[in-house]
Structure 1
Amino acid sequence: MPKSSADEKILSYNDVVLRQSDLTILNGPYYLNDRIIEFYFSYLSSSHPSEHILLVPPSITFWIMNCPDISSLNDFLQPLNLPSKQLIIFPVNNNDDVTAVEGGSHWSLLAFEKATNVFVHHDSYGGMNKNDAKRLYRTLVPYTGGSGSRYVECESSPQQVTGYDCGLYVLAIAKEICDWFDGNSTKNEDLWFAKVEERVTPERVSGLRVEILELITSLRGRK
């Protein structure tokens, strides 16, 4: 049977394949799926080519959070070489059903900054994913190469004004954190908070849908 138009492959970028259904999500006021977040994280990785930065795909984060055999995590995480990274960014989803990989109803972001040995959670909907982020944090601490890591809930994190833009806030905040990391030779306790608070506004987040669509069009034109 021929593939439906929704399944039509639009772009293959690094290890991510985008389909027509993903463009439909970006064009409308819809909740972002795993593929769009993985694509933009892959793009940020290419834009910030540093061995010190790691943006973890949603599928990997999901498995870390929900791995049924915790003893197997070490082998699973070893290729990521987490202890060597200075900045690690994870997209957090509140889905805990391993049979529904694309489940869940909210995205947030957990970032680890090694110089200050802190995990920071950014949630655009009043801390809805706080418990999920803390569960991820507790799982990761033994694998990030440092003891005594702290968890911080960023109280100044920008808040969404719609019920469907949480994934866009994750992407916008991830971009600002990466820009902050590249632009600061001296890291301090203030981290990226002020930069995120200033630059991640509802207007900029809303415009990110168009920016990503234009980026996809541009990348397609290079093929």
Structure 2
Amino acid sequence: MALKASDKVLSYNDVVLRRSDLDILSGPYFLNDRVIEFYLSYLSSSFPSEDVLLVSPSIAFWIKECPDTASVKDFVEPLHLSRRKLIIFPINNNSDVNLAEGGTHWSLLAFERSTNVFVHHDSSSGMNKWDAKRVYNAVLPYTTTDASYIDYPDTPKQENGYDCGVYVLAIARVICNWYASGGSKDNVDLWFPSLKEQITPSAVSEMRDEVLRLVQDLMARK
């Protein structure tokens, strides 16, 4: 019997993927929250460390859109941001809390403690600049109060209107690999050289296929 779009195909950690998510990965489509959350959860399992935190899209969104500081505190305190050495936030430009799967663009905000800096990587020339800055301002009191913020101008740029989410996943992997290899001990250039070397349009296209194969492999093991 053919699967319906809403049928569950994989449960991984706390993430449930459905048939429609496989279709998104198979074609030239904008990645949704579930696919982003799945791969960030996979990276967390691949790089297990209390020092590293990859925040889920839903939590990053609520931090960005919380109407008051008390609500932000409720979301942020369980994350223990003050003791993390590397934190990655997926940033979406949706501003409507009543609209599920909203927004038109993904970017990535990373905090690196040894350099005390938040770095925003946007594959579409700063489209999410203000959204990332809102997350920075919201979490700053819970990480370190004097951390700086930069929009990294040389972030690799997408060549179409739908691969922004894949760029986020690819950049997150580069950053995690950099940290796991001891990059934070010689952090003059952070992960930027690796980003320039590894993130290309062809590599991003291949990564979309790679994530799909990963899902299919995990499905086959169930």
Judge same fold: TM > 0.5, yes or no: yes
| Aligned-partner Cα distance in 1 for 2:27–2:203 | 16
Contact 2:90/2:107 (8 A) holds in 1: yes
Question: Is the CA contact 1:8–1:19 (under 8 Å) kept in the aligned structure 2?
Answer: yes
2:198 matched residue in structure 1:
199
2:202 maps to amino acid: E
Cα deviation, 1:78-136, whole Å, max 9, x if unaligned, reads 11111111000000011111111311100000000011110000000011111111111
Q: Count the aligned residue pairs.
A: 220
Q: Which runs of 5+ in 2 are unaligned?
A: none
> Over aligned residues, Cα RMSD in angstroms?
1.3
Q: Distance in 2 between matches of 1:66 and 1:139?
A: 9
TM-score (norm 1): 0.96
CA distance in 2: counterparts of 1:204 and 1:141, whole angstroms: 33
Contact 1:56 1:90 in 2 (8 A): yes
Q: Structure 2 matches for 1:39-50, cutoff 5 A?
A: 39-50=38-49
What does residue 155 of structure 1 align with?
A: 153
> Aligned runs of 1:176-191 on 2, under 5 Å?
176-184=174-182, 186-191=185-190
How many Å apart are 1:213 and its aligned residue? 1.1
Q: Contact 1:115 / 1:187 at 8 angstroms: preserved in 2?
A: no
Secondary structure, counterpart of 2:53 in structure 1:
strand
Matched with 2:81 is 82
User: Does 133-142 or 166-175 show the bigger shift?
Assistant: 133-142
The 5-angstrom pairing of residues 106-185 of structure 1 reads 106-144=105-143, 146-184=144-182
Distance 1:4 1:221, change over 3 A: closer
Query: 1:35 maps to which residue?
Result: 34
1:101 aligns with 2:100: yes
- Which letter does structure 1 place at the counterpart of 2:153? E
TM-score by length of 2: 0.96
Partner of 1:21: 20
SS of equivalent to 1:62: helix
**Offset at residue 4 of structure 1 (A):** 7.0
Identity among equivalent pairs (%): 59
Residues 193-202 or 183-192, more deviating? 183-192
1:124 and 1:157 in contact (8 A); partners too: yes
The residue type equivalent to 1:5 in the other structure is K
- State the alpha-carbon separation in 2 of the partners of residues 127 and 76 from structure 1: 26
Unmatched 5+ residue regions in structure 1? Answer: none
Q: State the 4+ residue runs in structure 1 displaced beyond 3 angstroms.
A: none
1:67 aligns with 2:66: yes
Answer yes or no: is the 8 Å Cα contact 2:90–2:168 preserved in 1: yes
